Amino acid sequence: LLLDRRPKPLTGKTIIMTSGPTHEPIDPVRYIANRSSGKQGHAIAAALAKLGATVRLVSGPVSIPDPEGVTVTHVESAREMRDAVEQFLPADAAVMVAAVADWRTANEAGEKIKKKPGEKAPALQMVENPDILAGIGHSKLRPRLVVGFAAETQDLLKNARKKLDKKGADWIVANDVSHATGVMGGDRNAVRIVSRSGVEEWPDMSKGEVAERLAARIAAALQAVEV
């Protein structure tokens, strides 16, 4: 048996992550959610841990198990996710994969909303949720490397480039979720890494392969003097 005694490339590095959807309550039995299985985010967390990183994963409600070697904080809503993420600052990197609900209901009902004969359907008042990635990207405690995701149905690269600045991110991992690409909930993904120095197009591969390649790229960036 040969033991690999080389130090792992991310040993000593702390990385904050988000994954999965958020649930925004309407009343005690109903919520608004986003389509996200957590598969891609959880795979990235596992891949980073395999390279030696201390990974603080804040996960929304998912039906997949916690990734191996990772500390997981389970939350429901965007505001809970933001609070958990902020507790883990400072960190060397942040990788925000969660599909955060952009809006929540303005006034969550304390009791189950009941149908009443003759009354019309209730209207939902919505307010915007905090932007967790932008909060980290523009924070005084900003990690050296900040990575966001962008799922788009149109103008993929244009929208991803805009998000670099809006979010204060170094890279946006962009994927096209238009038509029946099967990315949402599926096991494969075709992404582009958008940074200020250009666009890298990756071929279609499994979410596990995307995770390993991204983890290796993160390790290289954190080892370099400049990100």
Report the Cα 196 to chain-centroid distance in Å: 20
189 is catalytic: no
Nearer Cβ to ligand CTP (8/138): 138
Q: Is 98 in the site for ligand CTP (CB under 6 A)?
A: yes
Closest CA to 174 of 163, 186, 185: 163
Residues at the annotated binding site?
102, 112, 130-133, 149, 163, 167
Q: Is 83 in the site for Ca ion (CB under 5 A)?
A: no
Nearer Cβ to ligand CTP (47/99): 99
Residue with tokens 């992404």: 191
| Structural tokens at position 181 | 């690409």
Rounded-to-integer distance, Cα 139 and Cα 118, Å: 50
Q: How many residues bind Ca ion (CB under 5 A)?
A: 1
Nearer Cβ to Ca ion (92/102): 102
Q: Is 84 in the site for ligand CTP (CB under 6 A)?
A: no
- State the binding string over 115-154 for ligand CTP (x if CB under 6 A, else -): --------------x-xxx--------------xxxx---
Q: CB within 8 A of 103, min separation 6: which ones?
A: 24, 32, 126, 127, 128, 129
Q: Is 102 in the site for Ca ion (CB under 5 A)?
A: yes
Q: Is 102 in the site for ligand CTP (CB under 6 A)?
A: yes
Rounded-to-integer distance, Cα 227 and Cα 225, Å: 7
Closest CA to 34 of 124, 80, 103, 84: 103
Positions marked catalytic: 34
Q: Using CB under 6 A, list all residues that contact ligand CTP.
A: 18, 78, 96, 98, 100, 102, 129, 131-133, 148-151, 163, 167
